[in-house]
A = this chain, B = another copy of it.
Amino acid sequence: MTNHLEQKLLSKNIKPTPVRKLVLKKLLDERVAMSLVEIERKLERMDRSSIYRTLRTFEENYLVHAIPDRNGTVRYAVCDDACTCEPRHLHLHFLCLQCNKTYCLTDNPVQIPDLPPGYEVRSADFLIKGICPSCNK
């Protein structure tokens, strides 16, 4: 269990410290993308800046990807094992306007359309907003 977390961290070359294991565990357990402050609220005891630096480390090492949020904040979700956050690995994200949760639609890759000449694509965020299945029934 804890071992699974360590595996995952090590596989992305991140030293498995206590804080990192807890943050990763929380992200995996919740199964939706979470912002810095949302994580802070769920992990009462933990310091904000530690979580902040942990998320930076995670993002730099492609353990999590950042997803733009409603008002301008950013949420984080754990990447698939093989993900390197390159354009060809990108998937859609869905933000529910009712429950305000952000879902990774990992089975729906982002198709980048042809652009006018001169635009060189490096990355993309495709965020779809609406009502999620759980709120819809």
Contacts of A97 in B (CB 8 A): 122
CB distance from A107 to the nearest CB of B (A): 7
A105 vs B117: C-alpha distance in the bound complex, in angstroms? 12
Q: Which of B117, B129, B137 contacts A125 (CB 8 A)?
A: B129
Q: Is the CB of A92 within 8 A of B69?
A: no
A92 vs B74: C-alpha distance in the bound complex, in angstroms? 20
CB distance from A89 to the nearest CB of B (A): 15
Contacts of A94 in B (CB 8 A): 115, 119
Contacts of A5 in B (CB 8 A): none
Given contacts A72-B73, A122-B130, A127-B125, whether A105 and B116 have CB atoms under 8 Å apart is yes
- Report, nearest first, the 3 A-B pairs whose CB atoms are least far apart: A118-B133, A122-B130, A72-B72
Residues of A within 8 A of B (CB): 68-69, 71-74, 92, 94, 97, 105, 107-108, 111-113, 115-134, 136-137
